[in-house]
Amino acid sequence: MGLETKPSRFSPFDFFLFSSRLARETELLGTWFSEKRFLHDQGWGGFELEAWLVDSHGIPAPLNQPFLERLGDYPLVPELSLFNVELNTQERPLKGDALRQMHDSLANTWSFCDQTAREMEMGLMMIGILPTVTFADLTSRNMTPLSRYMALNEQVIRMHGDAPFELNIAGREHLRLEHPDILVEAATTSFQIHLQINQEDAVRIYNAALIASAPMVAIAANAPFLFGKSLWDETRIPVFEQAVPLGRDRALSGPLPRVGFGHSYVRESLMELFLENQQSFPPLLPIGSSDRPEHMHHVRMHNGTIWRWNRPLVGFDERGQPHLRLEHRVTSAGPTVVDCIANAALFYGLVTALATLKTPPESLIPFFEAQSGFYQAARYGLDAQLVWTQGNRVSLRKLLYRELLPLARKGLDHAGLDRADSDAFLGIIEGRLQTGQNGATWQRAYVNHHGPDMSALTLAYLQRQRTMEPVHTWKL
C-alpha cells in the first residue's frame, strides 16, 4: 500500500486483468513454498510507528504535508489523514544489542521530528486514539491528497454498496453513529512490529503470534476514548474493523472480513493465507503492473488491502531473494519510545518462546478461544479473563506476570539478545503489571481525577510523553 496509484477509478477490465495476474502470481508463490525458495535468515526485526500532529490546544493539526516537506529526507511518510504521519525504521538482526539500537534510533528520530513540529508550533504525539479528535475532523476534506487514498476510499464505498457505514461500539459507554467513508479509520494509530521468519518455522511463529495477541493488546492498550465516549481499553480494534466493514455482515459463505483476527490457525504453510487472499477477497485496488510475476506486485498489492491483525508479508532483499515477514498490528502507538520498544521486546520474546515449546500451544488453546480472548483483552485490557492452555479461565494480568513474562525472557535469551537490555525493556512491562498502569488506565485515571476535558487530557499526556519516562511511572 506504499505505492502511489495513477487512477482513482477503475474499469471492469482493470479488475479482470488484476485478478488474472493475481491468480498467476499466487500459483507461482505456491511453487516457491513447495520448493522452499524463501531466505533462511530468521530473526530480523523492525517496526512502523504512526503518530499525530496536534496544535497548541491538543487539537488535530492537518499539516502533515508542510511538516514532511520541512523534515526533508527523514524516514516519514503521510498517512490517510492530514494530521497523521508514519515513521519507518530499518530492520536489523535480533541479536546482541538490537533492542538498545532500536530504542536509540527511534528516540533520535522521534526527538528530531518532535523538535521540528515544535518549531512549527505543533506537537507530535504517539497514542492509539487522540482524545480530542472529533467526528467532524474525520471527513474527506482532511484526507491526505494522494490518489491511493482517494482510490481506496472510493473502492471501499463501491464494494460496500448502498448500506451506510456504522460505528457501533459497546464499551463502558455506547457509541453508535453512521459515517460516510473510511476516514474514521484515521482515528486509529498503531505501533506495528515486524519479524522476518524462516519458512520451516513460519507456521509455529504465526500461530504463536495469534495466541500472543491477547496479552499484547492488553499490555499495550492506549485508546480508551473516542469522541468523548469511554469505550474499550483498546478502542482501535473495533474502530478499524468497522471503518472498513467489507464482508463483516455477509453470510458465512460470502467474503471474509478484510479487517480481523482470522478464522483459524495456519495448518501446513503460510501459503494458506495467500491462497485465501486470492480466493476469498475480491480485489479492492486493481493497480496492475507489467512487472514479471516473480516480482509479486499483484500478490503484495492485494495483501496490502487485507488487514489481518497478524499479517503475513512477502518481501525481497537487495539481491531479489524472497523472504517472509510477519506484521503484528495489534499494539497502540506510544505512550513513549521506551514503551514501544518494551512492547516489541515482549512480542519478540513471547513469540519465540511459544513457537519453540515442545507442545505447540495452538494444540492446547482452541482457535475460537484465542480469538475470543483477543477481543476480551482489547475491551477490558489488563482486567480481561481468558482461557489458557489448561482450559481454565485465568486473569490475563496474572498470566502475564507469572507465566508469559518469564517465558518472554527465555525467548529473548534463545534469540541471542543481550540479557541486560532484555531485563531493562521487559522490566518496563513488569512495571505496568505491578502498577496496573498502561496508557489506557492512565488516561482513564486522569479523567476520573480531573474531569472529562479531552484537551486537558491530551496536553497532560503530551507533557509526560516528552519526558520519555515509561507510562507506568506517570503521575496524575
DSSP 185-228: GGG--BEEEEEEE-GGGHHHHHHHHHHHHHHHHHHT--B-EETT
| SS3 category, 176 | strand
Q: Is residue 390 part of a domain?
A: no
The pLDDT assigned to 8 comes to 56
Question: Residue 7 in 3-state DSSP?
Answer: coil
Tell me if 379 is assigned to some domain. Answer: no
Is the entire prediction scored with pTM above 0.85? yes
> In this predicted structure, what is the pLDDT of residue 253?
37
What is the C-alpha separation between 186 and 153, in angstroms, rounded? 12
Nearest to 85 by CA among 99, 74, 100, 93: 74
Crossing angle of the two packed helices 367-380 and 236-243, in degrees rounded to 10: 110
- Max distance between CA atoms of the chain, in angstroms, equals 61
**299 occurs within a structural domain:** yes
Provide the b/e sequence for 200-224 (b: ≥16 CB within 10 Å). ebbbbbbbbbbbbbbbbbbbbbbbb
Residues 476 and 474: their CA atoms lie apart, in Å, by: 7
Structural contact between residues 99 and 421, judged by C-beta atoms closer than 8 angstroms: yes
pLDDT at 97: 97
- Given a contact cutoff of 8 angstroms between Cβ atoms, the answer to whether 314 and 29 are in contact is yes
Smallest CA-to-CA distance from 262 within 241, 290, 285 is with 241
Count of domains forming the chain: 1
Give the per-residue pLDDT at 366: 97
What domain range includes position 409? Answer: 12-356+399-473
Distance between CA atoms of residues 313 and 196, nearest Å: 9
Residue 389 lies in a domain: no
Q: Does any domain span residue 16?
A: yes
CB of 110 within 8 A of CB of 88? no
CA angle 441, 382, 207 (to 5 degrees): 130
Rounded-to-integer distance, Cα 399 and Cα 392, Å:
11
Tell me, what's the pLDDT at 247?
66
Extract the residue ranges of the chain whose pLDDT is less than 70: 1-8, 162, 247-255
Instruction: Supply the CATH number for residue 231's domain.
Output: 3.30.590.20
Phi, psi of 184 (to 5 degrees): -60, -30
Residue 361 falls within a domain, yes or no?
Answer: no
Helix (H, G, I), strand (E, B) or coil at 234: strand
Assess contact for 283 and 6: CB atoms under 8 A: no
Specify if 393 maps to a domain.
Answer: no
Instruction: Determine, yes or no, domain membership for 365.
Output: no
CA–CA separation, 369 and 395 (whole Å): 14
